[in-house]
């Protein structure tokens, strides 16, 4: 059974972590596989949006601690192949059904829109194994809420995650979760892909860099995008009262 499922349908990449027996923990095989998928998704000009989910009872519980222990590896010593590390600037939706903790929680934080089912639980949990994870969480939600998650290692329920702005919407079950993910993906496809990618890139850069660097990068990217075919197509389609045909160039 493949540890990762990867489908392409109508401009949307469906990426499913598929180690349900291990709660989709990242062993070497899965980490290598998702690194290859991030590269393909990034470079395939027919794909505009990605939906990341997990099979079984979890989105992901992060690094495979059993495999790490067997190898004598300490907590925090296995870096995961994440979308930001791989410079994936296309928009990503995290469809969370079950546990999203540790590195799985960190992976979800690198998606732009997070949806969860009622049964889902989210948390950093890494301080409980003598490590730490997504410190940029303090710039994504109120600092007090972020520090509770980061310092305690506690999991929070989906409705609590919604209350503090960590997830966009809570759905009753997996079927409605995936339907909502597809609906949002179809919405995102209406926007100019190069502009959307610029927004994602600048937003995440802003979590780690000073504003002066972000502003300089924004000016550079804005000039580059203004010279593309899509920059001509957007106003033309609006004037002609039709849907634009984006070419990502």
Q: What is the pLDDT of residue 125?
A: 81
The residue with tokens 């995290």 is 94
d(CA 53, CA 227): 35
pLDDT at residue 75 in the model = 58
Residues 128-139, buried b or exposed e (16+ Cβ, 10 A)? ebebebbeebbe
Burial-class residue 207 by CB neighbours within 10 Å (0-12, 13-18, 19+).
middle
Nearest to 122 by CA among 112, 136, 131, 134: 134
pLDDT in tens, the chain (249 residues): 899 999 999 999 999 999 999 999 999 999 999 999 999 999 999 999 999 999 999 999 988 777 766 666 655 556 889 999 999 999 999 999 999 999 999 999 999 999 999 999 999 987 777 777 788 898 899 999 999 999 998 999 999 999 999 999 999 999 999 999 999 999 999 999 999 999 999 998 888 888 888 889 889 888 888 888 888 887 888 788 888 888 888
Write the CB contacts of 180 (distance below 8 Å, at least 6 apart in sequence): 115, 169, 171
What does the pLDDT read at residue 235?
Answer: 81
Supply the pLDDT for residue 172. Answer: 98
Quote the pLDDT of residue 77: 57
| pLDDT score for 78 | 67
CB 5 within 8 A of CB 14: yes
Residue 1: the pLDDT is: 85
Helix ranges (H only) for 65-142 are 65-70, 103-109
CB contact set of 205 (below 8 Å; sequence gap of 6+): 213, 214, 217
Q: Is 5 helix (H, G, I), strand (E, B) or coil?
A: strand
> What is the model's pLDDT at position 73?
61
Domains and their CATH numbers in the chain: 4-189 (3.90.226.10), 193-239 (1.10.12.10)
**Whole-number Å distance between alpha carbons of 63 and 102:** 7
The confidence score (pLDDT) of residue 179 equals: 98
In this predicted structure, what is the pLDDT of residue 221? 86
Which residues share a beta bridge with 170?
116
pTM: 0.91
Give the per-residue pLDDT at 159.
Answer: 98
Closest CA to 40 of 88, 85, 93: 88
For 144-155, letters b (16+ CB in 10 Å) and e give ebbeebbeebeb
């Amino acid at each position: 059974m493949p540890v990762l499922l990867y489908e392409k349908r109508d401009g949307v990449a469906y990426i499913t972590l598929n180690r349900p027996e291990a709660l989709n923990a990242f062993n070497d095989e899965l980490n290598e596989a998702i690194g290859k998928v991030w590269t393909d998704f990034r470079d395939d000009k027919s794909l505009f949006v990605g939906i990341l989910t997990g099979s079984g009872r979890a989105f992901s519980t992060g690094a495979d601690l059993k495999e790490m222990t067997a190898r004598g590896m300490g907590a925090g010593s296995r870096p995961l192949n994440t979308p930001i590390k791989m410079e994936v600037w296309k928009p990503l939706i995290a469809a969370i059904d079950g546990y999203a903790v540790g590195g799985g929680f960190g992976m979800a934080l690198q998606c732009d829109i997070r949806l969860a089912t009622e049964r889902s639980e989210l948390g950093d949990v890494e301080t409980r194994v003598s490590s730490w994870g997504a410190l940029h969480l303090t710039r994504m939600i109120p600092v007090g809420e972020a520090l509770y998650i980061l310092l305690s290692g506690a999991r929070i329920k989906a409705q609590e995650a919604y209350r503090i702005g960590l997830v966009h919407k809570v759905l009753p079950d997996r079927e409605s979760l995936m339907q909502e993910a597809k609906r949002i993906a179809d919405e995102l496809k209406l926007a100019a892909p190069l502009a959307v990618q610029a927004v994602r890139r600048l937003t995440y850069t802003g979590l780690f860099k000073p504003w002066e660097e972000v502003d300089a990068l924004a000016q550079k990217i804005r000039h580059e995008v203004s010279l593309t075919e899509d920059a001509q197509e957007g106003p033309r389609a609006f004037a002609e009262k039709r849907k634009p045909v984006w070419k990502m160039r």
